[in-house]
């Protein structure tokens, strides 16, 4: 007998993982925001950075050979390097609730973070700050989180290889897989340079458009036939996210699951991990399932949840027109 796998129909969410909460803060003055994934009781954590232009905080802490085993939240934010300030607000919120690493004189919340570049949409002086990180924590709960143009996905844009004028709207998405009573979920903010691909059909969902703006051009095939990409400012892209599981895992295993999650990102974004992306994925293990079904299964689940969540980030996005008149259609908006 095979244990049922929850995939078809209900894609699930990262909050189906016991011990995980998610909250968004979305800036209304321009498209940007932040999202927080909270593990109040602490979670074993790992990270894998594949993009060449990352913006991160506390990633060295997560190396398997380093001291601390658990963290208490992960922040994902827009605003490029300025957005890292959102983690300060999350630290304050957790400290107020007595959550953190015991340092004898108090508790120190450990909050790694990663950011994406969304400064080209609207007034760049408006970006997630400590107050936004605090507000995202205030909004956190165990319900399935909102997807699309919210939180860290509010200012996300896809398919920029041939310029912003031919790009499409990105967003944030979530999914989960449950096998043998263990769940792995993912939350992905997709602001990729490349196109977003359906991981099952390999068809382009959203990305760079043809010069007339009416159809998808398929960036991979366009580049391979010799179409010249537009010169890009390094780091103006990036997909960031969190994979979480209720399996019992070690810090080294959390790192390996973050590595495996990037395989899922590579199934749903092409080109991926470019010199202009800062692709970073975290892994959290709450241990609430009380067992580990083996790393082969967990790695497969991590890649699957990431691939599906990335596709959902594109499918859940809504079209926008910026104050500067730039139209960014969403998936499904093209004829």
- pLDDT of residue 205 exceeding 70, the answer is yes
232: CATH: 3.60.70.12
For residue 331, tell me if it sits in a domain.
no
For residue 277, tell me if it sits in a domain.
yes
Q: What is the pLDDT of residue 4?
A: 35
Q: Which residues contact 86 (CB under 8 A, 6 or more apart)?
A: 25, 34, 36, 75, 77, 79, 113, 128, 129, 130, 132, 133, 136
List the one residue out of 140, 112, 115, 122 whose CA is nearest residue 25. Answer: 140
Q: What is the pLDDT of residue 28?
A: 86
- pLDDT of residue 232 exceeding 90, the answer is no
Of 254 and 53, which is predicted with more confidence?
254
For residue 167, tell me if it sits in a domain.
yes
> Using CA atoms, how far apart are residues 218 and 215, in angstroms rounded to an integer?
9
List the one residue out of 333, 334, 330 whose CA is nearest residue 156. Answer: 330
- Provide the mean pLDDT of the chain: 94
Q: What is the pLDDT of residue 48?
A: 97
- Bridge-based pairing state of the strands 70-77 and 113-115: parallel
In DSSP terms, 321 is beta-bridged to 327
Give the pLDDT confidence of 60-99 residue by residue, as tens digits.
Answer: 999 999 988 899 999 999 999 999 999 999 999 999 999 9
Model confidence at 270, pLDDT cuts 50, 70, 90, reads very high
For residue 7, tell me if it sits in a domain.
no
For residue 329, tell me if it sits in a domain.
no
Q: What is the pLDDT of residue 9?
A: 54
What does the angle CA 81 – CA 27 – CA 12 come to, to the nearest 5 degrees? 90
- pLDDT of residue 6 exceeding 90, the answer is no
Give the pLDDT confidence of 15-43 residue by residue, as tens digits.
Answer: 999 999 999 999 989 999 999 999 999 99
- pLDDT of residue 234 exceeding 80, the answer is no
Strand stretches in the chain, DSSP E = 21-27, 32-49, 56-57, 70-77, 101-102, 107-108, 113-115, 157-158, 168-169, 171-179, 182-190, 195-197, 204-206, 239-245, 269-270, 280-285, 320-321, 327-328
Mean pLDDT of 155-179: 96
Model confidence at 10, pLDDT cuts 50, 70, 90, reads confident
What does the angle CA 273 – CA 256 – CA 314 come to, to the nearest 5 degrees? 40
For residue 155, tell me if it sits in a domain.
yes
Q: What is the pLDDT of residue 285?
A: 98
Residues above pLDDT 70, as percent of the chain: 96
CB-neighbour burial class of residue 214 (10 A; exposed 0-12, middle 13-18, buried 19+): exposed
CB-neighbour burial class of residue 263 (10 A; exposed 0-12, middle 13-18, buried 19+): middle
Q: What is the chain's percent helix, strand, coil content, to nearest 5?
A: 25, 30, 45
> Using CA atoms, how far apart are residues 289 and 291, in angstroms rounded to an integer?
6
Q: Which residues contact 4 (CB under 8 A, 6 or more apart)?
A: none
For residue 9, tell me if it sits in a domain.
no
Q: What is the pLDDT of residue 88?
A: 98
Mean pLDDT of 1-15: 60
Mean pLDDT of 251-274: 97
Contact 6, 176 (CB under 8 A): yes
Q: What is the pLDDT of residue 237?
A: 87
Which helix (H) or strand (E) covers residue 10, if one does? Answer: none
Q: What is the pLDDT of residue 36?
A: 98
Tell me the two tokens of residue 320.
């926008």
Q: What is the pLDDT of residue 236?
A: 82
Residue carrying the six token digits 């015991």: 102
Q: What is the pLDDT of residue 5?
A: 36
Region of residue 27 (phi > 0: left; psi between -120 and 50: alpha; otherwise: beta): beta
Contact 9, 39 (CB under 8 A): no
Tell me the two tokens of residue 175.
């999914």
Domain interval for residue 56: 14-322
For residue 183, tell me if it sits in a domain.
yes
- pLDDT of residue 231 exceeding 90, the answer is no
Indicate the number of domains in the chain: 1
Residue carrying the six token digits 């994934």: 37
List the one residue out of 174, 175, 176, 181 whose CA is nearest residue 247. Answer: 181
| Range in 6-10, 167-171, 282-286 with the lowest mean pLDDT | 6-10
Q: What is the pLDDT of residue 8?
A: 39
């Amino acid at each position: 007998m095979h244990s049922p796998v929850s995939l078809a129909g209900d894609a699930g969410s990262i909050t189906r993982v016991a011990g995980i909460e998610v909250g968004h803060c979305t800036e209304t003055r321009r498209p940007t925001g932040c999202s927080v994934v909270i593990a109040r009781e602490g979670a074993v954590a790992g990270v894998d950075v594949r993009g060449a232009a990352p913006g991160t905080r506390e990633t060295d802490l997560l190396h398997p050979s380093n001291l601390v085993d658990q963290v208490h939240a992960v922040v994902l934010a827009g605003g490029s390097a300025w957005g890292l300030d959102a983690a300060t607000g999350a630290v304050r919120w957790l400290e107020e609730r007595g959550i953190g690493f015991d340092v004898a004189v108090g508790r120190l919340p450990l909050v790694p973070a990663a950011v994406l570049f969304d400064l080209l949409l609207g007034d760049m002086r408006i970006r997630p700050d400590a107050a936004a990180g605090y507000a995202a924590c205030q909004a956190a709960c165990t319900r399935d989180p909102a997807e699309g143009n919210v939180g860290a996905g509010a200012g996300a844009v896809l398919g920029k290889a041939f310029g912003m004028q031919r790009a499409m709207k990105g967003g944030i998405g979530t999914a989960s897989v449950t096998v043998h009573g263990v769940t792995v979920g993912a939350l992905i903010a997709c602001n990729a340079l490349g196109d977003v691909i359906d991981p099952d059909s390999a068809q382009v969902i959203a990305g760079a458009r043809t010069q007339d703006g009416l159809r998808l051009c398929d960036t991979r095939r366009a580049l391979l036939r010799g179409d010249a990409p537009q010169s890009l400012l390094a780091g103006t892209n990036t997909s960031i996210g969190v994979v979480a599981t209720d399996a019992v895992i070690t810090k080294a295993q959390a790192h390996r699951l973050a590595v495996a999650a990037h395989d899922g990102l590579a199934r749903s974004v092409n080109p991926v991990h470019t010199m202009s992306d800062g692709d970073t994925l975290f892994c959290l293990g709450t241990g609430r399932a009380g067992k580990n079904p083996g790393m082969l299964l967990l790695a497969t689940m991590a890649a699957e949840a990431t691939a599906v969540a990335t596709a959902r980030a594109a499918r859940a996005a809504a079209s926008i027109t910026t104050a500067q008149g730039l139209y960014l259609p969403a998936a499904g908006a093209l004829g």
